[in-house]
Amino acid sequence: MSFPWAKEYTPSNGVTKFLDEKLPLPRLVYNAVGAGYPVPRNLSYFWNFGVLAGFFLVLQIVTGIILAMHYAANAQVAFATTEHIMRNVNWGWLMRYAHANGASFFFIVVYLHIFRGFYYSSYKAPREMIWLLGVTIFLLMMATAFMGYVLPWGQMSFWGAKVITGLFGAIPLVGEPIQIWLLGGYAPDNAALNRFFSLHFLLPFVIAGCVILHIWALHIPGSSNPTGVEIKSESDTLPFHPYYTVKDGFGLGVALLVFFSLVFFLPNALGHPDNYIEANPLSTPAHIVPEWYFWPFYAILRAFTGDLTIPFTGVVLIEAKLLGVLAMFGSILLWFILPWLDKSPVRSGHYRPLFRKFFWFGLIPAMIVLFICGGAPAEEPYVMLSQLATAYYFLHFLVILPIVGQIEKPEPLPYSITEAVLGSDKKAVLGENASPAV
């Protein structure tokens, strides 16, 4: 990219020469994911998940467009056409199971991608914009996944739609009109189903656009790496192709093995049996839960059971319902300011002893507790546990991270990526191709 030792694209034959003059698309690909993109030599498998997320986005778009050819977004027949896809359409079961589990896998790889970002502080300068775009993509994914889950028009579809649009009803004064406007009625019905289908079709392409911006922004500073030390010379890097195309290819193979094990042998393991019952506005399922990938945030929503009042006066400042909604959206929106909350000059958690303790013994257990509580019924001890975990979650980002950055004494960083990989042996560090950074 901006590194002076990046290999130059040279068109080899008449066709590529013609293209390079008229529309240099091969050059763009070469510089973006080819030999022309120098990448840190020490990337671990945690750096696979961006490519995997891209793969699952494509998989979702392809299977989704196929499903749309056989599905009808009308409350009278939506459930029936979903079953039609499963029973009558050739290979329809494969398309639908791949799409449903593909959504789960998209979230799995994106969560691991975000986990990587948290641990290695990938969000820090100069990569803030990549992070901001990533959080935007995540929010779009959540909206897309939610609306997609409504489309089969089963019991969980219907009640999920009702509960989630009900969140907007918590907004003071304008909440209820907004909810009715979003649904096009007083309860989810044909109008809501149709617009969710339309938007569910549109948003993946908006995500694809954001992904292009995400990758564009990535190519300006280049990839981060497990040491968090910036690239200093050519010996710190390898060309993306063939080194990381192969490494990503291997990771993709592993991911697909797991993915298709689920699609073929446990296709409903991540779903809810209730969604094979057609939507019934008069009967709520005993236990409404969203899809697993929303559980931590759902737990935060439910953690707020009491109003925020001025002490001893009983004057209600914010109702419990609105508090829960604000906290749930806030828990993700605060990621937008994360690059400015965590001021530590050291990126990688590998060299931050205090940060690491709070990360492994604070944030990760809190997330696991929230995940479990989000999937559990709204009763004790889950309510209390999710309250504790929610408190820690916000404390971690808003208080602990900024303070740790101030008081922590980081471990010594390696001089360069090359040194981190090969040790400080002079000969090893300065390989034959070593050239100083410009």
Partner 1 sequence: MADTAATANPETTEDTGDGVRRRDFLDIAAVSAAGVGGLAVLYPLISQMAPSKDVLAASTTEVDVSAIQPGQAIKAVFRKQPLFVRRLTPEEIAAANATPASSLRDPETLADRTQEGHQDMLVTMGVCTHLGCVPLGAAEGEVKGEFGGYFCPCHGSHYDTAGRIRKGPAPTNLEVPEYTFTSDTTIQVG
For partner 1, the binding residues (CB under 8 A) are 159, 162-167, 169-170, 180-182, 184-187, 189, 191, 195, 281-284, 286-288, 302, 304-305, 307, 319-322, 324, 377-379, 383
Q: Closest separation between CB of residue 271 and partner 1, Å?
A: 19
Q: Identity (one letter) of the amino acid at 37?
A: Y
Asked if residue 320 lies in contact with residue 131, where contact means CB atoms within 8 angstroms, the answer is no
The residue among 229 and 369 lying less far from partner 1, judged by its C-beta, is: 369
How would you class 14 by CB atoms within 10 Å of its CB: exposed for 0-12, middle for 13-18, buried for 19 or more? exposed
Q: Closest separation between CB of residue 384 and partner 1, Å?
A: 12
Q: Closest separation between CB of residue 286 and partner 1, Å?
A: 6
Instruction: Tell me which residue of 147, 229, 232, 154 sits closest to 183, measured CA to CA.
Output: 147
How many C-beta atoms surround the C-beta of residue 29 within 10 A?
A: 14
Q: Closest separation between CB of residue 176 and partner 1, Å?
A: 10
Q: Closest separation between CB of residue 312 and partner 1, Å?
A: 16
Question: For residues 149 and 192, what is the distance between their CA atoms, to the nearest angstrom?
Answer: 13
Q: Which pairs with CB-CB distance under 8 Å and at least 24 residues apart come from 18-25?
A: none
Instruction: Tell me which residue of 436, 418, 438 sits closest to 428, measured CA to CA.
Output: 418
Asked if residue 121 lies in contact with residue 338, where contact means CB atoms within 8 angstroms, the answer is no
Q: Which DSSP symbol is given to 318? A: E
CB proximity list for 270: less than 8 A, separation 6 or greater:
100, 101, 104, 262, 291, 292
The residue among 128 and 307 lying less far from partner 1, judged by its C-beta, is: 307
The residue among 89 and 164 lying less far from partner 1, judged by its C-beta, is: 164
The residue among 195 and 232 lying less far from partner 1, judged by its C-beta, is: 195
Cα dihedral 277, 145, 384, 169, rounded to 10, equals -90
Instruction: Tell me which residue of 363, 368, 398 sits closest to 385, measured CA to CA.
Output: 368
Q: Closest separation between CB of residue 390 and partner 1, Å?
A: 14
Burial 364-390 (b: 16+ CB within 10 A, else e): eebbebbbbbbbbeeeeebbebbbebb
Q: Closest separation between CB of residue 319 and partner 1, Å?
A: 4
The residue among 262 and 376 lying less far from partner 1, judged by its C-beta, is: 376
Which positions are catalytic? 219, 223, 247-248, 291
The residue among 179 and 416 lying less far from partner 1, judged by its C-beta, is: 179
Instruction: Tell me which residue of 288, 291, 315 sits closest to 302, measured CA to CA.
Output: 288
Question: For residues 241 and 255, what is the distance between their CA atoms, to the nearest angstrom?
Answer: 20
The residue among 257 and 282 lying less far from partner 1, judged by its C-beta, is: 282
Q: Closest separation between CB of residue 383 and partner 1, Å?
A: 7
CB proximity list for 131: less than 8 A, separation 6 or greater:
117, 122, 123, 335, 338, 339
Question: For residues 199 and 57, what is the distance between their CA atoms, to the nearest angstrom?
Answer: 16
